Amino acid sequence: MLFLIGFSCSGGSEAGETEYKELEYSGYEFSEGKVSVFLKNYSNINYVVTLNSLSPEKEIVDKNLTELIFINSQNKNSSLKIKNIIETEEKVFSKALINPELNFKKVNINEDFKIKINEAVYEKSTKTIIRLIDISEDSRCPDPTDNNESISNPGSCIHNPKTLIHLIMETPRFNTFDEFIYKEQLKDYEFFYGGNFIKISKIDPDILELNRFIDDSDYEITISISNNNK
């Protein structure tokens, strides 16, 4: 989400009071020869938006969501810049827009796939990009069912074994999903984003001994995207 602040006059205010609204970045989409950028609470009076230093060719407004369409004849990776022109102190937001068809590993809807740390994957039918940023905590056990809390005969896994995952997802027309998720060892982690159901089902490699060190390059998570929650 952007941290640029815009304003518009409140429609219900006879005194003409100014209502401040946050400009929200809601993803992008490459199509043949074009790139669409989606913004909420956008006004061309308050902001200047360029892609590769070019202004948009077309603007489509649907309620509070604006689609800015830019020409990109070579379908190349692009540089987005949004400048706030209403604040006393100039504020600029910049973002590299990567063509996912040409740069990211392809995955299929309704199928499990694996993703490694610092890897990005792309599901075409939902136009969803998923990036695994980090796994910063891992308290899994070799045997998570060995959880007897008896003082006389305690199990080897009496805590709640889980893994902390940092995941970023982008789907056009939706705000970016940028969250830290605790995935319990004995449960799938499921959530809804971008009109689809997301499930994280497994962390690899398995824990073979307590307090085992796992290098970041060895981690993989198994995840899926589906149109339903079955």
Per-residue model confidence (pLDDT) at position 18: 47
Domain boundaries in the chain? 5-99, 104-226
Give residue-wise pLDDT tens across range 38-55. Answer: 999 999 988 999 999 999
**pLDDT over threshold 50, residue 59:** yes
Helix, strand or coil for residue 127? coil
Question: What's residue 42's pLDDT?
Answer: 93
> Considering only the top CATH level, what class is 104-226?
mainly beta
CATH topology of domain 5-99: Immunoglobulin-like (2.60.40)
Whether 1 shows a pLDDT value over 70: the answer reads: no
- pLDDT tens-digit profile of 60-104? 999 889 999 999 988 999 999 999 887 655 688 899 999 999 999
Give the three-class secondary structure for 119: strand
User: Taking residues 111-127, what's their average pLDDT?
Assistant: 97
Neighbour-count burial for 139-149, b at 16+ CB within 10 Å, e otherwise:
bbbeebeebee
